[in-house]
Structure 1
Amino acid sequence: MDKGRYQRLVGRLIYLSHTRLDIAFAVSMVSQFMHSPSREHMDAVFRILRYLKGSPGKELLYKNYGHLQVEAYTDADWVGNVMDRRSTSRYCTFVEGNLVRWRSKKQSVVA
């Protein structure tokens, strides 16, 4: 197993996942094994590459709106899940009107 090759491929997939949201979850899963990849992990990377080859033209296009503005929004859900009574916080960031980052996280403790 060539660890360097695995790391280069996954690094390129991470970069590509900014415009190909359909592979973001799969790439996040294979990126967890950067320090000790196995043959199964490399097979998963090749499967992602085969998917990309078979689905061209599905990337996001970022538009230039003529202004350099950064906007961020955040939200919290206090005890939104009645099963475990945990809160969820989330945020998203826009640059020039284009969504560039988002995250949603369930809190680790009950407040």
Structure 2
Amino acid sequence: MISQFMHDPRESHLQAAYRVLHYLKGSPGKGVLFKRSQKLALKAYTNVDSAGSIVDRRSTSGYCTFLGGNLVTWRGKKQNVVARSSVESEFRAMTQGICELLWLKIILEDLKIKWEGLMKLYCANKSTINIAHNPVQQDRTKHIEIDRHFIKEKLEGLICISYVSSGSQLADVLTKGQNGGLFHEIISKLGMEDIYSPA
């Protein structure tokens, strides 16, 4: 987020950079802990901060993927174009999450690990999920037609899209600022632990 303003930084950007450095300095032992799991499940959480940038009104997409309950990939990125609706920006985020799940499936196949089950994708927007499952093309969804067809194709025996409430949306931490309590709760659910914290 801060790097967007490298060519014309202001005092507020410097203060934001100091906050990031302060957090990092105060968390030298924090990292993702991988735990052994008997279930080899692939799942992803996708979210979007629709039109969240006050500079250009672009949305920020985020996803985090889990393999066997362990966080393996994550990303938060501003979308390339301005979305005309929140559903459009959600479809872009879902498409990125599905692509990441498919990439992980290919990696598993390259490692000779056979994956037969459905991959799960969690989204906090019920309208987006309903449109993804609806085979009827509607006039109001024509501007998202390619993403909608891509997602619909992957829903046929490969991906299962489920609703997750905003309070349980783990990708939130990648798309928008959180208050301290919620931030620590989410990163704990992502598998981050501090090796220096007392047991």
Fold shared per TM-score above 0.5: no
Relative contact order, CA 8 A, sep 6+: which one is greater? 2
TM score, norm. by length of structure 2: 0.25
TM score, norm. by length of structure 1: 0.43
